[in-house]
Amino acid sequence: MGETRTAAVQYCLIGGNVSHSPSPAMMNAAFSAAGIRATYLTVNVEVGQLPEKFRELKQAGVRGMNVTIPFKNSIMPLLDKLDEVSSRIGAVNVVESRNGKYTGHNTDVDGVMGPLSARFPDLLLRHSLVLGAGGASRAFLEAMRRMGCAKVTVAVRDKSRAATFIEEMTRACEGLEIELRSLRECGSIRSSIDLVFNATPAGSPGQPFPSEILRLIDSRTIVFDALYRPVETELIQWAKEMGCRGLYGYEMLLGQGLAAFKLWTGKEPPVQAMKDALLRRLEVVGE
């Protein structure tokens, strides 16, 4: 009789439209490099179908999940437990299964802090600006709290829709001054902005990046775009024109993936294998 092989452990990414995500290339390369028999797939979920789909995935024995738009908040009531960070900031992007219980975590915070700390080890942040008030913005604010930033301006198109976000994050990030401005109001910002973080689709094809934010950037500003496709976003291109320092969206994607791998497996992630696979999938050359 032939040798019986243990079935591969299953992991997946769930979101509204994730078929073209580069995450499977990155995570499957990680499992292969680490000698772990596992597979990582994408699962598209329609709005309103998350409870049913999550139940199906649990029944299938999926060991871990990444969670992206629009489910970083709505998955929380379906979980058995939340870690301290995801509970406090109100966003989950990683689910871990242990002993049949599913726990929510947030490694997007690592995805923000990791690249910033690696590139700028002595970074002193006084005033940062984040565009958007979704799950990535929640992670960014927590990262700014941990990194000792004094103030963050949250820029949105419609302030009324972000009021609850500001209330929740002010409670979650004690000691961090958070102000809310509409895009029109950003033109009156007079203090220097140390860091601009884009947590929206702005700058992707067909969605121009707000000129009100671009005008706040000078040669001293650091820009960080959570958008990873296209790699050269409008914000990144503007940063190059202004001669300032920029971080790509794939750096955040890699950072959160490294943290997720360690959370799921207990092993140190194979960084280079993951980065190489990610850049190949995104067709990036020379990074």
Report helix, strand or coil for 143: helix
pLDDT at residue number 191: 87
Residue 208, Cβ density class (10 Å: 0-12 exposed, 13-18 middle, ≥19 buried): exposed
Looking at residue 198, its pLDDT comes to: 98
Q: Which residues pair with 131 in a beta bridge?
A: 155, 198
Q: Are 258 and 269 in contact (CB under 8 A)?
A: yes
Q: Evaluate whether 23 touches 42 at the Cβ level (below 8 Å).
A: yes
Cα–Cα distance for residue pair 127/143, rounded to 1 Å = 13
Catalytic residue among 53, 58, 72, 151: 72
Per-residue b or e along 216-255, where b marks 16 or more CB atoms closer than 10 Å to that residue's CB? bbeeebbbbbbbbbebebbbbebbeebebbbbbbbbbbbb
Tokens of 207: 């969605």
pLDDT per residue, tens digit, the chain (287 aa), is: 344 345 678 999 999 999 999 999 999 999 999 999 999 999 999 999 999 999 999 999 999 999 999 999 999 999 999 999 999 999 999 999 999 999 999 999 999 999 999 999 999 999 999 999 999 999 999 999 999 999 999 999 999 999 999 999 999 999 999 999 999 999 999 889 999 999 999 998 889 999 999 999 999 999 999 999 999 999 999 999 999 999 999 999 999 999 999 999 999 999 999 999 999 999 986 55
Q: Is 240 a catalytic residue?
A: no
Nearest-angstrom CA–CA distance, 81 and 102: 7
Single-letter amino acid, residue 18 = V
Question: Cα(275)–Cα(280) distance, rounded to whole angstroms?
Answer: 9
* pTM (whole model) above 0.85: yes
Domains of the chain, first to last? 9-106+253-281 (3.40.50.10860), 109-247 (3.40.50.720)
